[in-house]
Amino acid sequence: MSKLSFRARALDAAKPLPIYRGKDMPDLNDCVSINRAVPQMPTGMEKEEESEHHLQRAISAQQVFREKKESMVIPVPEAESNVNYYNRLYKGEFKQPKQFIHIQRSLPLLRGLYLQTQISRTSHLLG
């Protein structure tokens, strides 16, 4: 997950800002009690994925170097391709069929014909 950082607050022109001189600066111990840390937000990943080494390296590099998102890369293994094996499986002899659904015209058309079954005979009694 991301580390805690200070939340940026917008300046309010109606609220006066304190001005300190060098000798009047408050002690660091007095300022430590101020908690302006941003709460840790969920990342949308599972806990195991958050602890993954490559992902953590990419996230920490982005935080440290403030790189642009276009130059950030999460390393993944190179994809292998075996062209000879592919060519053996797929011969390249495919021809687009004239139609995708084949209708046999030899069957009699049952348009308009209704076959009453025992279920349809008794369905009007149930409904």
Residues in the chain: 127
In a domain, 28, yes or no: no
Domain annotation covers residue 66: yes
At 45-65, the pLDDT tens digits run 777 777 787 777 877 777 776
**Residue pLDDT, tens place only, 98-111:** 877 777 666 565 55
Residue 53 lies in a domain: yes
Convert 68-97 into a string of H (helix), E (strand) and C (coil): CHHHCCCCCCCCCCCHHHHHHHCCCCCCCC
In a domain, 123, yes or no: no
**Which alpha helices (DSSP H) does 3-127 contain, by range?**
28-32, 47-50, 53-65, 83-89, 118-126
Q: Give the chain's domain count.
A: 1
Q: What is the pLDDT of residue 52?
A: 81
Domain that holds residue 56: 45-75
Residue 4 inside a domain? The answer is: no
Kindly state the average pLDDT of the residues 32-54.
70
Residues 58, 73: Cα–Cα separation, whole Å:
7
Confidence of residue 1 (pLDDT cuts 50, 70, 90): very low
Q: Kindly state whether residue 30 falls inside one of the protein's structural domains.
A: no
* Residue 115 forms part of a structural domain: no
- In the chain, % of residues over pLDDT 90: 0
CA atoms within 13 A on the CB side of 88: 4
Taking 70 as the threshold, does the pLDDT of residue 5 lie above it?
Answer: no
In a domain, residue 2? The reply is no
Q: What are phi and psi of 46, to 5 degrees?
A: -75, 160
